[in-house]
Structure 1
Amino acid sequence: MRILIIHTAFIGDIVLSTPLVKKIKESYPDSYLAYVTTPAGASILKNNPYINEIIEYDKRGAHKGLRGIYELGKRLRYENFNMVITPHRYLRSSFLSWLSRSPIRKGYDVATGSFFFTEKIHYDRTKHEVEKLLSFIDCPETNNKRYEIELFPDEKSKEKIANIWKSNNLENKKVVAVAPGSKWFTKQWPVEYFNEVVEEISKDKEIGIVVVGGKEEMSIPLSNKNFVDLRGATTLLDLAEVLRRSDIVITNDSSPIHIASASQNTKIIALFGPTVKEFGFFPWSKNSEVLEIKNLSCRPCGIHGGKKCPEGHFKCMREITPKKVIETVKKYLGKEIDG
């Protein structure tokens, strides 16, 4: 059985697909599993023992335009896949599935280009994204099993982060990782709030703070310097190891939520503003807590957030106070809460 997954969405979406990867392998233990994804997706899936082949779809480079997708489709057709699973709901991915000429092509019923599929899977908006993905495989032996998010940093990443921990005296401290960025402005908790949290918890010398993010997060003006700044300094699997070693992760509704969910021992404090848990992208880890302002008539205002608050007041984020986040951190760490 030769099986292919086509998923070229955001990093968080690719991370959320790892339970599906394992379910496929447990449902079809002798299968050959390949995965088509973006270069960034390929980097986070690296070392996954359940994937036999990762095929990069570089839609801005080698596979740009219609000719590029045809060339990739030709390669997939040559590989003779028996089943193609396409969680990505966009036309290019649906078309690529058809180009594979696989006899079984599964995709969501709401996908653009769903007519390219031979089997349409119901996109149940009431379920977590991981549960939606798991529904692609219907197997009595595996249907009722909970599958966790799994990422596999290599020894190089583990050694790199261990050295950072050692050189910054983090080994005997409780470590709080702070992820202040997001692709969408309205998903970002105000930077002055992050500064207030870092200022307060850094007063406790038993707590170490690391700030994580990509190069784009390096411009976020964090005024307090009592932290280890890893922005722009880690690969995605390095980041997975950082979050695994951390006791707490404070993050917006962004990919660190899902990367941190690969570690069951890391407490996730997720800040949800314009988006809501009902979209299905809340932390899969049971060791998590979503902080949000409920009963706002303007919330949610979009599945991805936006460049500015449509109402101009940004209450969904501004009313999640630094005090509430600080109290949540201290409560989890068993620290005394002021006031």
Structure 2
Amino acid sequence: MLKHSKVLLIQTAFLGDAVLATALLEKIRNESPETEIHILVRKGNESLFKAYPYSNLHRVWTYDKSRKWSSWLELRHDLSLVHFDAVYVIQRFFGMGLLSLSIGANRVVGFDKNPMSLFFTERVKHEWGTGIHEVERNTALVKSWLGEMVYKPCLKAAVIDLVPEIRKKEYICISPGSVWETKRLPIRIWIEFIRLLPESQVVILMGSPGEIDLSHQIAEAFQGSNRVILNETGKHPLLASAYLFQQSKMSFVNDSGPMHICSAENVPTVAVYCSTVPSFGFGPLADWNRVIETKEVLSCRPCGDHGKNNCPLGHYACGEGIEAMALFQAYQEFLSSGSQKI
């Protein structure tokens, strides 16, 4: 049986991908507790790992994509000094594949779709679009070391002070944004959904600084009403945002990073899919979750492996075809299920 005293995981993709990589942290922590774990993530995502509460994660390294090759060269030098027993490359791109081979690790394991996979110690088949979840795909990387058992991602954000209007387990979060426009539920549908909610239901709008306008459009629609709509978009660092999701009654999200944060914190989640589909393997993993998507069969959906900046056909039927009532029914179903977190 393989034994590793020190390993490096590489996942420098988007926030949600980094969150899902915590499932590997959990597997290694539980099945090889003596192993010191390092992880390399995109700069900007590193603070999230302060919400990973276990000391097995020894260090979080960062790759600054704004400096690309200079950051890459610095990492090659610094990581070479650590002397890893193994590197597990979750990334499927050339740069991280080359880095993994350049730091002197005893073993390098990665997916066969990585352009540098020919030189890896072990290549793992990357299955896509078959319904296999990303955490299962990632677990396959360590199968020859630790076996097949799959763990859920894990984050436990530290407590922060909440303003009086924000009472634990009483508010719902809505995160209307996404890096990709074709992953965003149209704003009018979010507004229609909120109008269906009981007037007493507090709603917190969440998102990154680049999504402030989306949340503003929603909040503006309820100005002068008796509803409590708190627009917290862009106001909090990543850790504080994770805590707000963690303490919500339930959260409504697009197929985006916040969905994966909710999975890692086991927040009851309603996940909306527009141009993408759950069979890509990025569905919600919370104990209570629902997926909302258009009921119409569209020959153009999905239009790609990821979202796009705009609908290639101009009609955006995958988003426009989703009904606000479907979101409201999920809300009612959760309340009647007795699944609310204490």
TM-score by length of 2: 0.88
Deviation of residue 84 (structure 1)? Answer: 0.4
Which sits farther off after the overlay, 34-43 or 83-92?
Answer: 34-43
Q: Does 2:76 correspond to 1:73? A: yes
Q: How does 1:1-339 map to 2 (within 5 A)?
A: 1-48=5-52, 49=54, 50-61=56-67, 64-65=68-69, 67-125=70-128, 126=130, 127-138=132-143, 143-144=148-149, 146-154=150-158, 158-160=159-161, 163-164=162-163, 167-168=164-165, 170-171=167-168, 174-201=170-197, 203-205=198-200, 207-220=201-214, 221-222=217-218, 223-225=221-223, 226-264=228-266, 266-294=267-295, 295-334=297-336
Deviation of residue 142 (structure 1)? Answer: 5.6
CA contact (8 A) 1:185 1:306 kept: yes
Percentage of identical aligned residues: 29
CA contact (8 A) 2:208 2:233 kept: yes
CA contact (8 A) 1:189 1:271 kept: yes
CA contact (8 A) 2:290 2:330 kept: no
1:155-193 CA distance string (max 9 Å, x none)? xxx123xx22xx11534x732110000111111111111
Matched to 2:92, the amino acid is R
Q: 1:128 to 1:26 in 2, by over 3 A?
A: same
Secondary structure of the residue aligned to 2:118 is: helix
Structure 2 unaligned blocks of 5 or more: 338-342
CA contact (8 A) 1:151 1:237 kept: no
Secondary structure of the residue aligned to 1:262 is: helix
Q: How far apart are the structure 2 equivalents of 1:141 and 1:104?
A: 15
Q: How far apart are the structure 2 equivalents of 1:332 and 1:111?
A: 41
Q: How many residues align?
A: 320
Secondary structure of the residue aligned to 2:178 is: coil
Matched to 1:54, the amino acid is V
Q: How far apart are the structure 2 equivalents of 1:238 and 1:301?
A: 34
1:134-156 CA distance string (max 9 Å, x none)? 11112687633x412111323xx
Q: How far apart are the structure 2 equivalents of 1:278 and 1:306?
A: 18
TM-score by length of 1: 0.89
Secondary structure of the residue aligned to 2:142 is: coil
Matched to 1:285, the amino acid is A
